[in-house]
Amino acid sequence: MPFKLATDGQAWALITGATSGIGAQYARELAARGFHLLLHGRREAKLRVLAEQLRTGHGIQTEVLLADLATEAGISRVEQAAAGLSGLRILVNNAGYGEPGLFHERSLQSLTDMQRVHNDAVVRITRAGIGHMVTAGQGAVINIASIAAYLPGRGNVMYYATKAFLNAFSRSLATDLEGTGVVVQSLCPGFTHTEFHDPGRRAHFDKSTTPRWLWMEVEEVVRISLARLGHGKVIVIPGLVNRIFAWIGGHEWLYRFIMKRVRRK
């Protein structure tokens, strides 16, 4: 049965990290298509505002789930929610963050926390919810990776490494699910206009120092993701510039040559 991004009015989508940015945009897009939403996040007030807007604007059901995925209790909470949601048809594993710092200068706790959020939570939540999709013969898992998955990243080792895992996990999972009607996508965006790099966030930096042509709008990133869902490609890289960076990152000699030239300037 080919995957269709449609609902009979009973289908649910679970989105982690839905408070803002890419996660919130998936919520808006899926609400407009009639999916009921289970929205996970940590900032309660903002998450509830989004849930209410989508409920009243699209006539759907919305639920809010508060949990810190850097903790065992937080992962278990979302895991149990996914296992209990029989109408689950779309799972968007979006929760994540950046935290710059040299590997040997970061605490072990900070390193393993990122691995827990980006990888452990994704594996466990996916495992908990995917059975409903397989039983229904219909569903989709979207893992939000990054163009960083293709690059060796100084100053944020765990971010780059955990995003690379999501690509490998998604490709292998898609192979396991062949013939079930459940599709998998690993989305690899680059610089995207969201709150991810805003003041007060862990990955904050001055956006004005980065060329404007490197950035994409969040609406376009999510639109590309949904348009390509279930069309044969597991890894989706939105934007020509990002695809070029991924190609360069796959050739270590070329990447190192370019970076040396850039650092000399």
Q: Can you give the pLDDT at residue 202?
A: 53
Q: Would you give the DSSP letter of residue 90?
A: E
Can you tell me the distance from the alpha carbon of 192 to that of 212, in angstroms, rounded to the nearest whole number? 11
pLDDT confidence bin for 215, thresholds 50/70/90: confident
Give the range among 1-5, 10-14, 44-48, 70-74 with minimum mean pLDDT.
1-5
Instruction: State residue 57 phi and psi, 5-degree precision.
Output: -75, -25
Can you tell me the distance from the alpha carbon of 248 to that of 172, in angstroms, rounded to the nearest whole number? 24
> What torsion do the CA atoms of 69, 110, 170, 10 make, to the nearest 10 degrees?
10
pLDDT confidence bin for 206, thresholds 50/70/90: low
Mean per-residue pLDDT for 104-122? 96
Q: What is the pTM (predicted TM-score) of this model?
A: 0.90
pLDDT confidence bin for 204, thresholds 50/70/90: very low
CATH architecture of 12-264: 3-Layer(aba) Sandwich (3.40)
Q: Is 159 among the catalytic positions?
A: yes
The structural domains of the chain, with segments of one domain joined by +, span: 12-264
Q: Distances in Å between the alpha carbon of 60 and those of 18, 48, 238?
A: 16, 14, 29
8 A C-beta contact, residue 203 and residue 213: no
Tens of pLDDT, residue by residue over 30-44, are 999 999 999 999 999
Give the range among 18-27, 184-193, 202-211, 238-247 with minimum mean pLDDT.
202-211
pLDDT confidence bin for 265, thresholds 50/70/90: very low
Give the range among 2-6, 91-95, 171-175 with minimum mean pLDDT.
2-6
Amino acid (one-letter) located at 178: E
Mean per-residue pLDDT for 74-98? 97
- Of 153 and 263, the one with more pLDDT: 153
Mean per-residue pLDDT for 154-162? 92
Tens of pLDDT, residue by residue over 172-202, are 999 999 999 999 999 999 988 877 645 555 5
Tokens read off for 260:
């040396």
Identify the residue whose tokens are 């779309």: 90
Name the catalytic one among 26, 97, 150, 159.
Answer: 159
Q: Can you give the pLDDT at residue 166?
A: 98
**259: Cα within 13 Å, side-chain hemisphere:** 13
Tokens read off for 77:
């909470």
Please determine, for residue 2, whether its predicted confidence score (pLDDT) is greater than 60: no
Q: Specify the 3-state DSSP secondary structure of 151.
A: coil
Q: Can you give the pLDDT at residue 107?
A: 95
